[in-house]
Structure 1
Amino acid sequence: MTTDPSPLTILHLGLGAFHRAHQALYLQQLHALGDHRWVLASGNLRPDMQQTIAALQAQQGAYTLETVSAQGVRSYTRVESIRRVLAYTPDLAALVALAQQPGTRIISFTVTEAGYYLDSRDQIDWDGAPELRQDLQALRADSGSAGGGVVCTLYGALSVMLRARMRANAGAVTLLCCDNLRHNGDRTRSGLLQFVLALGDAELAHWISMHSTSPNAMVDRITPRPTPDVVQRVRQATGRDDPAALMAESFIQWVMEDRFAHGRPAWERVGVELVESVVPYEEAKIRLLNATHCCIAWAGTLAGYRFIHEGTQDRAIRQMAFDYMTDDAIPALSPSPLDLARYRDVVLERFTNPAIEDSNQRVAMDGFSKIPGFIAPTIGERLARGAGIAGVAMLPALFLAYLQRWHAGQIPYPYQDQTMDAHAAHALCAAPDPVAAFAADRVLWGRLAGDARLTDALRSAYQRVITWTRERSA
């Protein structure tokens, strides 16, 4: 194999399963076409995934990706595009060293939606982010050093890396968010600049503004947490013992705005959509896929199911999801450059894939972030048009019923929610009128909180959910 003697680097922060099943695969496909001008180097900002990282380092960054279609067809790809697996150290020294190299032209990241600490107005929620305050203190204490103090958040890490890059005069860089966050490039950039200005580093803030770009991007591929079963199937299918193997669905999509500061791979050659604006694509994904995913996870848990495909195959739950998309979400998204009805049908087909074994526990988490991010926009737009919200109101009603089960200790798995105030949530559930308390919660609803139209629709939808759950248990 002939390779470029000095390939350019994408430094990725967040060496999780999604990155390895998505961004790394696209670059591997470019390598398969003979284009080796770019490679990946990846590492974590926190001391997690130690076993996986050790396995990847032993394999020089290579691993096997299993993909499974809704029809059960499995295929196997050896991914070798991650050329450097960077070990975690508290000072992030390896990441910082690579970030200040001129050949590093893109810094990308997947740190989950909650890792950006932004409220409904895209302002950093300092009160709910003690890690950010700790990072500020650490960086202020080491403001004169070439790197910085020990940090653990994305904004802290980027501040250290970009400060080092600025001082090294290493040139412009693209900051590429690969998380499911609406307007992810714009919002990440806003959060980063807020952090840097709070740090008091006006020079760095100016450098970021002048020497970096943050294109918006939409990513999509269902990627469950890897299990020992994947390793066993890979061994049987390929003869390779690969402890870093992982599995994803066969569907994959990446749409991004073509705004790069210092070059990029020729991703369009392998199916990435480079567009002027990613907004209609991300809105369709967030409202038709992400919101529906939540609907099925919450309803499926209430119905006693463990996996997403079980709920999707349940006629009543599938109808709730279909009605939400057809009656409320698609009209709110129209007109659109996408065939939204076809997109809806593809989403439901993907969710029926039993091989993925995508758990309700994984999808149901972080409801206090997902309702304002995935569901409230459709409600707000429908109400602004004077349209009904009976279909979309079922989703938060399902979450309220789910939350009541959590309050009573009846959820069959630990519920994780980085935005939820547990004491406030218990108080909400114990209120004399839980529906009114739920509809008035500003964390969930922002400007819609307390709106009588929202409260009435939620009350009606919640009654339908309670009736449905009682009929099922009768």
Structure 2
Amino acid sequence: MSKSLNTSSAVWLHIGAGSFHRAHQAWYLHRLIAGGDSRWSIALANIRDDAAPLLNALAEQNGQYVLETVTPQGERQYETITSIRKVIPWDNELAALIAEGAHPQTRVISFTVTEGGYYLDNQFNLDQSNVDIQADLLGGCRTIYGTIAQLLAHRKQLNGDPVTLLNCDNLRHNGERFRHGLMQFLQLRQETALTAWIESHTRCPNTMVDRITPRPSPDVAQRVAQATGFQDRAPVMGEAFIQWVIEDDFIAGRPALENVGVELVASVLPYEEAKIRILNASHSCIAWAGTLLGQNFIHESTGTPAIYQLAYDYVTQDVLPSLTPSPLDLAAYRDVVLERFSNPYIRDTNQRVAADGFSKIPGFITPTLQECYQRGQVPTATAMLPALFFIFMQRWHQHNLPYDYQDGILDAAAVHQMFNSADPVTAFATDEKLFGSLAHSEPFAQLLRQSIDTVNHWLAQ
């Protein structure tokens, strides 16, 4: 069932109906509407059918739901989000999504597909070997590339109006890299005319997004009902902190996002690098380490002195020198991030944050490793992160993780083969997809082996 209200407004189509979008981008658009600017509204869709129950619940609630936010001090606030004015039902051909994207009122198409959903190799080229990409090259729409390609082809045919494509993920240089992947995808399909049209009729600004948003647990709905009286079937919760930085490069207009705290900038690079390397990488470090100690939640792992020290040393010893000079106070940002991770009220799980490690190692961690070596420094602190992930995956191989590990690009057979080999550490250290040029570095391989030994010794204590 599709619900549509206020059809006269410009439409911001978002692909990816998960919690993060509803706690982040939808909140900003809601704040504009609440402030009297109702020129834009959101149409929400999903590529896969796993969000169908959520979409149905939202449709029955006219797109409205309650956002609960909580500070590190435990102060909770509740806000009914009203920016989603159209909920697009899922269908196997994504016909309704594609039709919405082709409509001239749709002027921004944004998406959250997580790092693995871009299917990029360590050189940030399209991974043509992936089965989903192969299916989409034959005309499918399993991935963001197949979906956007079909959508834009339909738009070009119907009206040819320009549109902005906006990433809302933690992929570094996300707009540029998505565009590069899309163009490679279209070249493989020999879509010359569509490629030329996209070149002149779309923009892909780089962005940086930030708000810790765990998967909602059942007690969120209970607190929402108690606080508001609303029996919400699709509530979402997140931390009080929020940030959104966007390169101001929209081709078909945009909401007045600067009026609700979005930072519109010429370049997101310094914000992006600080967030990805300080927040995202240390987040993963804490999740992998905490899981290995048998802990369930990010806040309890951050509160474990040895794990806190791992993350603190990684940022202080290796990341800060890599990102200096910066317009940001990086040490202060580190401290704020670790305070946010310590928030006991978020109850973000190690399982959620530990996911997608095979994308996070090359995206979040390997650049710091490489830059340390380039300036003559041994990245002892940073090497602990892939060492933690190695042992984490060793536990996975042994069917000894306390939860199901989720990774969009996990090659399960290859990982099992690695751990069944005579020297799994060497196989790991020489993986170009993870470590790029460092895969050919004997000093790095030795450092990684030492780091794995250090983690094993730590876990044995």
Deviation at 1:429, TM superposition (A): 2.5
Q: Quote the Cα distance in structure 1 between the aligned partners of 2:98 and 2:410.
A: 33
For residues 242-298 of structure 1, give each alpha carbon's deviation from its aligned partner in whole angstroms, at most 9, with x where no partner exists: 111111111111001000001101111111111111111111111001100111011
Bigger shift: 275-284 or 98-107?
Answer: 98-107
Deviation at 1:468, TM superposition (A): 0.8
Does structure 2 retain, via aligned residues, the 8 Å contact 1:180–1:218?
yes
Match of 1:134 in 2: 135
Distance 1:212 1:450, change over 3 A: same
The match for 2:91 among 80, 89, 92 is 89
Match of 1:20 in 2: 22
Does structure 2 retain, via aligned residues, the 8 Å contact 1:11–1:104?
yes
Does structure 1 retain, via aligned residues, the 8 Å contact 2:211–2:243?
yes
The residue type equivalent to 1:237 in the other structure is A
The match for 1:299 among 283, 289, 296 is 289
Match of 1:54 in 2: 56
Question: Per the alignment, in what secondary structure is the counterpart of residue 361 of structure 1?
Answer: helix
The residue type equivalent to 1:135 in the other structure is D
Match of 1:80 in 2: 82
The residue type equivalent to 2:101 in the other structure is A
Distance 1:4 1:306, change over 3 A: closer
Pair 1:217 & 2:207 matched: yes
Match of 1:167 in 2: 157
Deviation at 1:5, TM superposition (A): 7.3
Match of 1:121 in 2: 123
Does structure 1 retain, via aligned residues, the 8 Å contact 2:14–2:109?
yes
Match of 1:145 in 2: none
Q: Quote the Cα distance in structure 1 between the aligned partners of 2:166 and 2:453.
A: 43
Q: Quote the Cα distance in structure 2 between the aligned partners of 1:5 and 1:35.
A: 15
Instruction: State the superposition RMSD in angstroms.
Output: 1.4
Pair 1:460 & 2:461 matched: no
Does structure 2 retain, via aligned residues, the 8 Å contact 1:101–1:170?
no
Deviation at 1:424, TM superposition (A): 2.5
Deviation at 1:365, TM superposition (A): 1.6
Q: Quote the Cα distance in structure 1 between the aligned partners of 2:430 and 2:62.
A: 52
For residues 112-146 of structure 1, give each alpha carbon's deviation from its aligned partner in whole angstroms, at most 9, with x where no partner exists: 1111111111211111x2112212223xxxxxxxx
Q: Quote the Cα distance in structure 2 between the aligned partners of 1:52 and 1:105.
A: 25
Pair 1:439 & 2:441 matched: no
Match of 1:277 in 2: 267
Deviation at 1:324, TM superposition (A): 0.5
Question: Per the alignment, in what secondary structure is the counterpart of residue 121 of structure 2?
Answer: coil
The residue type equivalent to 1:257 in the other structure is E
Match of 2:8 in 1: 6
Unaligned runs of 5+ residues in structure 1 are 139-149
Does structure 1 retain, via aligned residues, the 8 Å contact 2:11–2:40?
yes
Q: Quote the Cα distance in structure 1 between the aligned partners of 2:105 and 2:388.
A: 49
Q: Quote the Cα distance in structure 2 between the aligned partners of 1:151 and 1:455.
A: 40
Pair 1:383 & 2:384 matched: no
The residue type equivalent to 2:438 in the other structure is L
Match of 2:255 in 1: 265
Alignment of 1:145-224 (within 5 A): 151-224=141-214
Match of 1:70 in 2: 72
Question: Per the alignment, in what secondary structure is the counterpart of residue 165 of structure 2?
Answer: strand
Match of 1:227 in 2: 217
Q: Quote the Cα distance in structure 2 between the aligned partners of 1:274 and 1:55.
A: 33
The residue type equivalent to 2:245 in the other structure is V
Match of 1:374 in 2: 364
Q: Quote the Cα distance in structure 2 between the aligned partners of 1:66 and 1:351.
A: 17
Q: Quote the Cα distance in structure 1 between the aligned partners of 2:254 and 2:197.
A: 20
Q: Quote the Cα distance in structure 2 between the aligned partners of 1:433 and 1:137.
A: 39
Q: Quote the Cα distance in structure 2 between the aligned partners of 1:334 and 1:227.
A: 39
Does structure 2 retain, via aligned residues, the 8 Å contact 1:62–1:82?
yes
For residues 335-365 of structure 1, give each alpha carbon's deviation from its aligned partner in whole angstroms, at most 9, with x where no partner exists: 1111100110011001111121111111112
Q: Quote the Cα distance in structure 2 between the aligned partners of 1:4 and 1:116.
A: 33
The residue type equivalent to 1:189 in the other structure is R
Distance 1:121 1:468, change over 3 A: same
Does structure 1 retain, via aligned residues, the 8 Å contact 2:68–2:76?
yes
Q: Quote the Cα distance in structure 1 between the aligned partners of 2:55 and 2:106.
A: 21
Does structure 2 retain, via aligned residues, the 8 Å contact 1:4–1:37?
no
The residue type equivalent to 2:137 in the other structure is L
Distance 1:68 1:333, change over 3 A: same
Match of 1:141 in 2: none
Match of 2:230 in 1: 240
Does structure 2 retain, via aligned residues, the 8 Å contact 1:99–1:162?
yes
Question: Per the alignment, in what secondary structure is the counterpart of residue 83 of structure 1?
Answer: strand
Unaligned runs of 5+ residues in structure 2 are none
Does structure 2 retain, via aligned residues, the 8 Å contact 1:66–1:77?
yes
